[in-house]
């Protein structure tokens, strides 16, 4: 028998969450963001559920090639653009759209056109997403340089289309006393004024919270497709009608009956107040469960309980006080859905280690067995 820990991928939930993105942004094309191996779910695994999307967005050319290998002929957008002039050969060969966020990338595109000219090759026509730094200060042209970047690119034969792109830092809540999109949106609108072209603004948080106020020809939906709420705890997945797409499940492999004052695990971090029953679960930080978490919620036989003591590499302990039917082999859900349908949102687990659902789902390690549920 393999160790009982598994990550179950729920295909009906992936499809359902994509339909919510469509519902929230009815006038937009929906790009499924599948970076980081589809937020830890596996590109090959999610592909069949996401192939009704209007495009895929990711970072690594190797991941883009994997999507082409699955038969996808539509748009693939590289969200960080090219990392070298060489990458343009792949963009050409695999028909990849890409973000342009800095002058050095424009220089590479110009050099590439010169090489093609010299070799008398047909000039390729790239569809690019010109990124503006509207205030987040990671990637993009500053508003005052944006128009000149646009004109440089627009004058090149090798550019087929230019989409205006930006990314929100605060779409999940209020900042500076107003909605978190407002200050960036104004900067963006001002800077693209009078330029033709489509626009791509919204991530999941903006799609869910502001789609009525924002016009985004292409929305870039990531976390919402994977059943995590981008603005938890203000809204949970039920509020947004999203469903968990990944369930990390394991089993109880040992039971301990404690006397008062006995301790559990490394560092004796948990001390029993009275006699109690605890379960030892085959899940630890080497599976991707956060060591730093304390009192994290779990489901044991679909009944809510919590972890106790320190998470170790291969195991953690759970309180069985209120789970009378718990025994060796009982199902323990670390996040997601139990096999009888009880839900433990990943966001609730994430918050108990001070992180977000994104990090947990991306962090499941490859010793965990993944299984598909259709
Ligand atoms: C990751 C990413 C997204 C998706 O963000 P979510 O919060 O997961 O929806 C959108 N746009 C860009 C540029 C990204 O890097």
Distance of alpha carbon 227 from alpha carbon 238, whole angstroms: 10
* pLDDT beyond 90 at 115: no
What is the Å distance from ligand 1's center to 326 Cα? 40
Q: Please tell me the predicted confidence (pLDDT) of residue 276.
A: 97
Closest Cα to residue 101, out of 138, 64, 55?
138
- Greater pLDDT, 119 or 49: 49
Over residues 139-148, the pLDDT tens digits come to 999 999 999 9
CA-CA-CA-CA torsion sign (267, 270, 273, 275): negative
* Residue 332 contacts residue 250 (beta carbons within 8 Å): yes
The mean pLDDT of 363-367, rounded to a whole number, is 96
Decide which of 3.40.50.720, 3.40.50.1820, 2.60.40.150, 2.40.37.10 is the CATH code for 246-373: 2.40.37.10
Over residues 179-223, the pLDDT tens digits come to 789 889 999 999 999 999 999 999 999 999 998 889 899 999 999
Which protein residue has the closest C-alpha to ligand 1 atom 14? Answer: 79
Distance of alpha carbon 364 from alpha carbon 265, whole angstroms: 22
Phi/psi-derived region of residue 140, left when phi > 0, alpha when psi is between -120 and 50, beta in every other case: left
Over residues 27-54, the pLDDT tens digits come to 999 999 999 999 999 999 999 999 999 9
Which residues sit opposite 317 in a β-bridge?
Answer: 280, 308
* pLDDT beyond 80 at 177: no
The mean pLDDT of 77-82, rounded to a whole number, is 98
- 30, 60, 77, 79, best to mutate for ligand 1 pocket (most atoms within 8 Å of CB): 79
Distance of alpha carbon 109 from alpha carbon 107, whole angstroms: 5
* Residue 57 contacts residue 34 (beta carbons within 8 Å): yes
Burial of 336 (0-12, 13-18, 19+ CB in 10 A): buried
Q: Ligand 1 in contact with 167 (CB < 6 A)? A: yes
Which residues sit opposite 280 in a β-bridge?
Answer: 254, 317
Q: Please tell me the predicted confidence (pLDDT) of residue 108.
A: 97
Distance of alpha carbon 338 from alpha carbon 341, whole angstroms: 5
* pLDDT beyond 80 at 122: no
Torsion on CA atoms 66, 67, 72, 74, rounded to nearest 10: -130
Closest Cα to residue 334, out of 367, 278, 277, 293?
293
What is the Å distance from ligand 1's center to 32 Cα? 9
Q: Ligand 1 in contact with 223 (CB < 6 A)? A: yes
| Domain edges within the chain | 11-226, 246-373
Give 261's pLDDT tier (boundaries 50, 70, 90). Answer: very high
What percent of the residues of the chain are helix, what percent strand, and what percent coil, each to the nearest 5? 30, 25, 45
Running DSSP on this structure, what letter comes out for residue 170?
-
Q: Ligand 1 in contact with 135 (CB < 6 A)? A: no
Q: Strand, coil or helix: what is 280?
A: strand
- What is the percentage of the chain residues whose pLDDT exceeds 70? 100
Architecture of domain 11-226 in this structure: Alpha-Beta Barrel (3.20)
Which protein residue has the closest C-alpha to ligand 1 atom 13? Answer: 79
Over residues 291-306, the pLDDT tens digits come to 999 999 999 999 999 9
What is the Å distance from ligand 1's center to 171 Cα? 11
Question: Exposure string (b/e) for 299-334, b if CB count within 10 Å is 16 or more?
Answer: bbbbbebbbbbbbbebbbbbbbeebeebeeebbbbb
Q: Please tell me the predicted confidence (pLDDT) of residue 289.
A: 98
The mean pLDDT of 258-269, rounded to a whole number, is 96
- Which residues are identified as catalytic? 35, 266
Q: Please tell me the predicted confidence (pLDDT) of residue 123.
A: 75
The mean pLDDT of 270-297, rounded to a whole number, is 97
* pLDDT beyond 80 at 121: no
Let me know how many helices (H) and strands (E) the chain has, helices first.
Answer: 11, 21
């Amino acid at each position: 028998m393999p160790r009982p820990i598994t990550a179950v991928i729920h295909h009906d939930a992936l499809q359902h969450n994509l339909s919510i993105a469509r519902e929230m942004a009815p006038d937009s094309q929906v790009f499924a963001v599948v970076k980081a191996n589809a937020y830890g779910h596996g590109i090959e695994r999610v592909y069949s559920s996401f192939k009704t999307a209007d495009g895929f967005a990711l970072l690594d050319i190797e991941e883009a090639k994997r999507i082409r290998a699955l038969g996808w002929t539509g748009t693939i957008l590289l969200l960080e653009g090219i990392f070298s002039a060489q990458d343009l050969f792949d963009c050409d060969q695999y028909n990849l759209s890409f973000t342009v966020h800095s002058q050095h990338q424009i220089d590479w595109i110009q050099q590439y056109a010169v090489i093609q000219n010299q070799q008398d090759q047909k000039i390729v026509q790239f569809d690019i997403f010109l990124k503006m730094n509207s205030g987040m200060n990671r990637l993009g042209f500053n508003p005052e340089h944006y128009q000149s970047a646009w004109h440089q690119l627009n004058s090149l034969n090798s550019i087929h289309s230019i989409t205006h792109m930006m990314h929100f830092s605060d779409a999940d809540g209020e900042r500076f006393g107003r909605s978190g999109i407002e200050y960036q949106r104004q900067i963006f609108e001002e800077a693209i004024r009078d330029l033709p072209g489509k626009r791509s603004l919204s991530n999941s948080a903006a799609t869910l919270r502001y789609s009525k106020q924002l016009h985004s020809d292409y929305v870039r939906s990531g976390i919402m497709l994977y059943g995590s709420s981008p603005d938890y705890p203000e809204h949970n997945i039920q509020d947004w009608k999203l469903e968990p797409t990944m369930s990390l499940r394991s089993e109880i492999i040992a039971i301990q009956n404690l006397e008062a004052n006995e301790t559990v695990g490394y560092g004796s971090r948990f001390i029993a107040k009275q006699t109690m029953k605890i379960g030892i679960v085959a899940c630890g930080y080497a599976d991707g469960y956060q060591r730093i978490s304390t009192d994290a919620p779990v489901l044991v036989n679909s009944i809510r309980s919590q972890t106790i003591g320190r998470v170790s590499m291969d195991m953690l302990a759970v309180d069985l006080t209120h789970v009378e039917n718990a025994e060796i082999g009982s199902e323990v859900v670390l996040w997601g859905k139990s096999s009888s349908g009880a839900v433990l949102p990943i966001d609730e687990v994430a918050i108990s280690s001070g992180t977000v659902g994104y990090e947990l789902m991306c962090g499941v390690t490859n010793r965990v067995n993944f299984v598909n549920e259709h």
